[in-house]
């Protein structure tokens, strides 16, 4: 059986329920700390509690102090007292638009014989009102609470001069005259319905919807219509994805990490497969007071990476950090260097692949550094390969999103230890002057691991001593790239490339500035 549709009225009532609880807690002297309120009320609401919190705070119905205690604002008090209800409901509809089922959508689903498995309730008896049942004001008498659902045409409408209140958008709701009438629409949840795929409404015939009362607002109907599915997406595929911002479909997860989860997605307008990174999990490390700073940093880093267009850098296509679940969209790449290293069984990767990957990453970093962008989080998981086997760098600056800052109340957070061995000492010590040289260090560690399958230590043998197929001309370059002291290390990628091309006078790697890309499709 389908769960009752989550529509605007339900979410509006639940947001009001949260406000009333906050006011009651304050009156009784109980804790209104965010974590306590969330734990107590989240089981009672249809959507994630965080979504309600962001809505109420964004529209200034609640405020939060430095100790994360919540309280109602003057606007919040007026809503709880029965004022501002129309505005409150409209704002709920705007904020939660992508998470709600519109009223027209509900009524369409309710009358679809296919969706009901052939079951339809018996038609209601036709009811009419004679002159004796209407008082002098022209209003029919109130109906009992268990009234039988009426088709809209069975009840005469009031005079056309009476305007329908803006808040009413239901097909079956009657306009009020002197006193509001109870709703004539039957409760959808009481009718047994089998599960229906999300895209059923777009791909199966649907009976013509019931007519609207003449005074209804056309805009309220069009806004509740389900969004179109991309013509390029098949009905079977479209039914599996959750929609994001009416532009993307989010499918099964591809993996997860300390910051969030990666999903395969589709850009509806172009039918393009993309990667969607949803960063919900990152906020488990921070309080809500620090969320704003984290989002500010995240948007800055995403915008910076999006400006760098290079064959060795993953393209950022879109972002929405203002969503309840912040996410960003990038090109879909299916294989990482970590997977290739694991497939090598601890012996690294083929030397030809290691050399090409090393140069591609070097030129990608060179382009980023020229644009003022440093990576500072190099590790095999952030090296991805396109369908032709070319290496691309992803996740620039993610370390800066969570770095400590006492002036903004940002705590020290360790997001796992997977990338620590690739970090230059100045990054581990949180030095403020870490720059291009720190990326040179991380690239040197990746080079050694690709050749040998191992992470180098202080007294580790040089790459060619572990793997005889590795060019010995790279030994000294690797050694200088990975010096602990910055003044003994290459200051930037350009200086490293100068020595690289001098070490290979036969021009095995062409000349500085030349980048070799593979154009052979790779097998899945």
Looking at the fold, whether 286 and 368 belong to one and the same domain comes out as no
Looking at the fold, whether 78 and 95 belong to one and the same domain comes out as yes
Q: Of 224-228, 266-270, 324-328, 460-464, where does mean pLDDT reach its minimum?
A: 224-228
Looking at the fold, whether 314 and 351 belong to one and the same domain comes out as no
Looking at the fold, whether 301 and 380 belong to one and the same domain comes out as no
Looking at the fold, whether 291 and 415 belong to one and the same domain comes out as no
Within 10 angstroms of residue 131's Cβ, the number of other Cβ atoms is: 5
Q: Is the CB of residue 382 less than 8 Å from the CB of residue 333?
A: no
- Residue 185 counted as domain residue: no
Residues 6+ apart with CB under 8 A from 36: none
What does the pLDDT look like over 134-161, one tens digit per residue?
Answer: 444 444 455 444 444 444 444 444 444 4
Measuring CA to CA, how many Å separate 43 from each of 6, 68, 102, 270?
15, 20, 23, 39
Residue at a domain's end among 73, 99, 125: 99
Q: What is the DSSP annotation of 57-79?
A: HHTTSEEE-TT-BEEE-HHHHHH
- Residue 304 counted as domain residue: yes
pLDDT at 321 over 90: no
184-191: list long-range contacts, CB under 8 Å, 24+ apart: 184/143, 184/147, 184/149, 184/150, 184/152, 184/155, 185/107, 185/149, 186/110, 186/149, 188/4, 188/5, 188/106, 188/109, 188/110, 189/3, 189/4, 191/110, 191/116, 191/121
- Residue 191 counted as domain residue: no
Give me the mean pLDDT over the 431-458 stretch.
Answer: 92
CATH label of the domain that carries residue 59? 1.10.10
Sorting pLDDT into bands at 50, 70 and 90, what band is 292? confident
Looking at the fold, whether 307 and 453 belong to one and the same domain comes out as no
- Residue 265 counted as domain residue: yes
pLDDT at 260 over 80: no
Looking at the fold, whether 307 and 406 belong to one and the same domain comes out as no
Looking at the fold, whether 377 and 506 belong to one and the same domain comes out as yes
- Residue 143 counted as domain residue: no
Sorting pLDDT into bands at 50, 70 and 90, what band is 117? very low
φ/ψ (deg, to 5) at 504:
-130, 75
- Residue 347 counted as domain residue: yes
Looking at the fold, whether 253 and 293 belong to one and the same domain comes out as yes
CATH label of the domain that carries residue 509? 1.10.510.10
Looking at the fold, whether 362 and 379 belong to one and the same domain comes out as yes
- Residue 179 counted as domain residue: no
CATH label of the domain that carries residue 308? 3.30.200.20
Angle in degrees, CA 273, 279, 284, rounded to 5 = 160
Looking at the fold, whether 340 and 482 belong to one and the same domain comes out as yes
Q: What domain range includes position 496?
A: 336-524
Looking at the fold, whether 347 and 305 belong to one and the same domain comes out as no
Q: How many domains does the chain have?
A: 3
φ/ψ (deg, to 5) at 18:
-65, -45
Sorting pLDDT into bands at 50, 70 and 90, what band is 191? very low
What SS3 class is residue 336? Answer: strand
- Residue 520 counted as domain residue: yes
What does the pLDDT look like over 266-277, one tens digit per residue?
Answer: 999 999 999 999
């Amino acid at each position: 059986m389908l769960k009752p549709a989550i529509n605007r009225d339900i979410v509006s009532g639940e947001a009001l329920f949260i406000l009333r609880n906050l006011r009651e807690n304050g009156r009784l002297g109980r804790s209104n700390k965010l974590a306590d309120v969330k734990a107590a009320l989240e089981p009672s609401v249809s959507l994630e509690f965080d979504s309600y919190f962001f809505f109420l705070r964004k529209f200034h119905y609640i405020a939060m102090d430095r100790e994360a205690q919540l309280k109602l604002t003057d606007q919040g008090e007026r809503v709880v007292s029965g004022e501002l209800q129309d505005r409150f409901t409209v704002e709920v509809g705007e904020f939660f638009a992508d998470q709600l089922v519109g009223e027209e959508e509900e009524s369409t689903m309710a009358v679809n014989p296919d969706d009901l498995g052939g079951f339809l309730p018996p038609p209601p008896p036709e009811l009419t009102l004679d002159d004796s049942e209407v008082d002098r004001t022209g209003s029919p008498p109130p109906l009992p609470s268990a009234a039988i659902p009426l088709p809209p045409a069975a009840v005469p409408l009031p005079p056309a001069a009476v305007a329908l209140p803006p808040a009413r958008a239901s097909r079956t709701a009657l306009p009020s005259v002197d006193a509001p009438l109870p709703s004539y629409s039957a409760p959808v949840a009481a009718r047994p319905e089998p599960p229906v795929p999300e895209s059923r409404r777009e791909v199966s015939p649907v009976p013509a919807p019931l007519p609207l009362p003449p005074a209804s607002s056309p805009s309220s109907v069009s806004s509740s219509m389900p969004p179109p599915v991309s013509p390029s997406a098949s009905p079977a595929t479209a039914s599996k994805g959750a929609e994001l911002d009416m532009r993307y479909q989010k499918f099964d997860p591809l993996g997860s990490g300390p910051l969030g989860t990666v999903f395969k997605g589709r850009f509806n307008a172009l039918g393009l497969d993309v990667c969607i990174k949803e960063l919900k999990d990152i906020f488990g490390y921070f309080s809500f007071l620090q969320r704003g700073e984290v989002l500010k940093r995240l948007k800055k880093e995403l915008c910076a990476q999006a400006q760098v267009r290079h064959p060795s850098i993953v393209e950022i296509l879109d972002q929405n950090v203002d969503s309840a679940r912040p996410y960003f969209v990038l090109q879909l790449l299916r294989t990482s260097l970590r997977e290739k290293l694991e497939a090598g069984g601890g012996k690294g990767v083929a030397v030809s692949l290691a050399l090409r990957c090393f140069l591609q990453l070097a030129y990608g970093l060179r382009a980023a550094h020229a644009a003022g962008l440093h990576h500072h989080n190099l590790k095999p998981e952030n090296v991805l390969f396109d369908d032709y086997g070319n290496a691309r760098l992803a996740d620039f600056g993610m370390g800066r999103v969570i770095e400590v800052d006492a002036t903004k109340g940002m705590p020290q957070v360790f997001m796992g230890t997977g990338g620590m061995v690739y970090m230059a000492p100045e990054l581990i010590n949180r030095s403020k002057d870490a720059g291009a040289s720190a990326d040179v260090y991380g690239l040197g560690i990746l080079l050694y691991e690709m050749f040998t399958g191992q992470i180098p230590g202080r007294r580790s043998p040089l790459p060619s001593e572990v793997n005889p197929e590795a060019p010995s001309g790279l030994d000294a370059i690797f050694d200088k790239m990975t010096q602990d002291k910055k003044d003994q290390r290459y200051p930037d990628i350009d200086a490293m490339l100068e020595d690289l091309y001098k070490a290979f006078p036969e021009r095995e790697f062409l000349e500085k500035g030349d980048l070799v890309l593979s154009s052979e499709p790779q097998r899945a």
